[in-house]
Structure 1
Amino acid sequence: MSLFTRRPERLLLIGAICVSGCVRVGPDFHPQREAWIEHWSSRAVEEATTQGSQPDIRQWWHVFSDQNLERLITEADANNADVRIAGLRVMEARAQLGIALSGSYPQVQQANADVLYGDRKRSGGDRPRSGGVLQYSVGFDFAWELDFWGRFSRAIESADAGYFAARANHDDVLVLLHAQVATTYFTLRTAEARLRIARENAKLQKRSYEITERLFKSGESDELDLQQAKTQYLGTLASIPEFESQIVLAQHALSVLIGRPPGPLPELAEQPEKEGVIPLVDHAVLQDVPANLLLRRPDVRAAELQVASQSALIGVAEADLYPSVTLLGTLAWTASSAAGAPNTLALFAGPSVSWNLFDHGRIVNNVRVQDARLQELIVAYQNTVREAAREADDAATGLIMALQRDSILHDAEMAARRSLTLANTIYREGYSDFQRVLDAQSALSSQQDAYLVNRSNAVGSLIALYTAVGGGWYTGAPLVDPDTRRQMQQRTDWGDMLNESDPPSITTRHAAPQGGPGE
Structure 2
Amino acid sequence: MNTLFPKLLTPLLAAMVLAGCAAPELRAPDIEIPSGFKEANMADAARWKPAEPAEAQPRGEWWKAFNDSTLDKLIADATAANANLAAAAARVKQARAIAGVAEADRMPAVNAEFGPQRLRNSALSRGLPAGTAVAPATVWQGRLTASYEVDLFGRVGNNVSAAQADAAASEATYRSVLLALQADVAQTYFRLRAADAELSFLNETVRLRDENVRINQRRYDLGDVGELDVSRARTELSTIRSEAIALERQRAQLEHALAVLLGRPAAAFGASSNPLLASSRLPGIPAGLPSALLERRPDIAAAQRAMVAANARIGVARSAMFPALRLTGAGGGESDDLSDLFKWSSRSWVIGALLSLPVIDGGRTQANIVRSQAALEESVAGYRQSVLAAFAEVEDNLVGLRTLAGQAEAIDEALASARRSADLANKLYTAGRSSYLELLDAQRNLAAVERSAVQLRGSRATTTVALIRSLGGGW
| Superposed pair shares fold, TM > 0.5 | yes
Equivalent pair of 1:324/1:354 in contact (CA under 8 Å): yes
* Cα gap change, 1:264 to 1:429, in 2 (>3 Å): farther
Instruction: Say yes or no: does 1:254 pair with 2:253.
Output: no
Residue-by-residue CA offset, 1:177-212 (whole Å, 9 max, x unaligned): 011101111111111100111111122222222333
Query: 1:293 corresponds to which letter in structure 2?
Result: L
Equivalent pair of 2:276/2:458 in contact (CA under 8 Å): no
Query: Aligned ranges for residues 368-379 of structure 1 at < 5 Å?
Result: 368-379=370-381
Instruction: Say yes or no: does 1:43 pair with 2:12.
Output: no
Equivalent pair of 1:83/1:170 in contact (CA under 8 Å): yes
Instruction: Say yes or no: does 1:165 pair with 2:169.
Output: yes
* Cα gap change, 1:242 to 1:280, in 2 (>3 Å): farther
Displacement of 1:245 in angstroms is 1.5
Equivalent pair of 1:159/1:309 in contact (CA under 8 Å): yes
Query: 2:29 corresponds to which letter in structure 1?
Result: R
Query: 1:25 corresponds to which letter in structure 2?
Result: C
Equivalent pair of 1:330/1:347 in contact (CA under 8 Å): yes
Displacement of 1:140 in angstroms is 2.7
Aligned equivalents of 1:203, 1:342: Cα separation in 2? 102
Displacement of 1:335 in angstroms is 5.9
Query: 1:46 corresponds to which letter in structure 2?
Result: N
Query: 1:214 corresponds to which letter in structure 2?
Result: R
Aligned equivalents of 2:140, 2:64: Cα separation in 1? 73
1:184 corresponds to: 188
* Cα gap change, 1:109 to 1:150, in 2 (>3 Å): farther
Residue-by-residue CA offset, 1:399-421 (whole Å, 9 max, x unaligned): 11111211221221122112111
Of 237, 244, 254, which aligns to 1:240? 244
Query: Aligned ranges for residues 476-487 of structure 1 at < 5 Å?
Result: none
Of 23, 28, 32, which aligns to 1:32? 28
Displacement of 1:464 in angstroms is 0.6
Residue-by-residue CA offset, 1:59-99 (whole Å, 9 max, x unaligned): 22112111001000000000000111111111111110111
Ranges in structure 1 where 5+ consecutive residues have no aligned partner: 1-17, 118-132, 473-515
Of 384, 397, 400, which aligns to 2:399? 397
Query: Aligned ranges for residues 213-292 of structure 1 at < 5 Å?
Result: 213-263=217-267, 265=269, 268-269=271-272, 274-277=274-277, 279-285=280-286, 289-292=289-292
Residue-by-residue CA offset, 1:397-445 (whole Å, 9 max, x unaligned): 1011111211221221122112111111111122212222101110111
Aligned equivalents of 2:139, 2:213: Cα separation in 1? 110
Query: Aligned ranges for residues 347-358 of structure 1 at < 5 Å?
Result: 347-358=349-360
* Cα gap change, 1:446 to 1:264, in 2 (>3 Å): farther
Displacement of 1:237 in angstroms is 1.4
1:300 corresponds to: 300
Aligned equivalents of 1:195, 1:310: Cα separation in 2? 53
- Report which stretch shifted further, 63-72 or 39-48: 39-48
Aligned equivalents of 1:379, 1:428: Cα separation in 2? 70
Query: 2:396 corresponds to which letter in structure 1?
Result: D
Query: 2:41 corresponds to which letter in structure 1?
Result: E
Displacement of 1:134 in angstroms is 9.6
Displacement of 1:322 in angstroms is 1.1
Equivalent pair of 1:321/1:360 in contact (CA under 8 Å): no
Aligned equivalents of 1:258, 1:206: Cα separation in 2? 39
Aligned equivalents of 2:421, 2:269: Cα separation in 1? 40
Aligned equivalents of 2:259, 2:45: Cα separation in 1? 34
Aligned equivalents of 2:42, 2:260: Cα separation in 1? 36
1:60 corresponds to: 62
Displacement of 1:283 in angstroms is 2.5
Aligned equivalents of 2:473, 2:142: Cα separation in 1? 61
Of 145, 149, 153, which aligns to 1:145? 149
Residue-by-residue CA offset, 1:206-243 (whole Å, 9 max, x unaligned): 22223333333443323333332222222111111112
* Cα gap change, 1:109 to 1:40, in 2 (>3 Å): farther
Displacement of 1:108 in angstroms is 6.6
Equivalent pair of 2:66/2:281 in contact (CA under 8 Å): no
Displacement of 1:376 in angstroms is 0.8
Displacement of 1:282 in angstroms is 4.8
Query: 1:256 corresponds to which letter in structure 2?
Result: V
Residue-by-residue CA offset, 1:358-396 (whole Å, 9 max, x unaligned): 105111011111111111111011101111111110011
Residue-by-residue CA offset, 1:103-149 (whole Å, 9 max, x unaligned): 112357453455899xxxxxxxxxxxxxxx99764333333221111
Query: Aligned ranges for residues 413-428 of structure 1 at < 5 Å?
Result: 413-428=415-430
Equivalent pair of 1:107/1:145 in contact (CA under 8 Å): no
SS of 1:45's equivalent in the other structure is coil
SS of 1:73's equivalent in the other structure is helix
2:452 corresponds to: 450
Query: 2:113 corresponds to which letter in structure 1?
Result: A
SS of 1:343's equivalent in the other structure is helix
Aligned equivalents of 1:443, 1:100: Cα separation in 2? 69
SS of 2:325's equivalent in the other structure is strand
2:320 corresponds to: 320
* Cα gap change, 1:31 to 1:65, in 2 (>3 Å): farther
Aligned equivalents of 1:187, 1:381: Cα separation in 2? 32
Aligned equivalents of 1:262, 1:48: Cα separation in 2? 46
SS of 2:320's equivalent in the other structure is helix
Query: 1:397 corresponds to which letter in structure 2?
Result: V
Query: Aligned ranges for residues 58-137 of structure 1 at < 5 Å?
Result: 58-107=60-109, 109=111, 111-114=113-116, 137=141
TM-score, structure 2 length as denominator? 0.82
Equivalent pair of 1:248/1:264 in contact (CA under 8 Å): no
Displacement of 1:458 in angstroms is 0.9
Ranges in structure 2 where 5+ consecutive residues have no aligned partner: 1-13, 47-57, 120-136
Aligned equivalents of 2:43, 2:282: Cα separation in 1? 11
Query: 2:242 corresponds to which letter in structure 1?
Result: A
* Cα gap change, 1:243 to 1:214, in 2 (>3 Å): same
Equivalent pair of 2:192/2:255 in contact (CA under 8 Å): yes
Equivalent pair of 2:99/2:163 in contact (CA under 8 Å): yes
TM-score, structure 1 length as denominator? 0.76
SS of 2:225's equivalent in the other structure is coil
Equivalent pair of 1:181/1:257 in contact (CA under 8 Å): yes
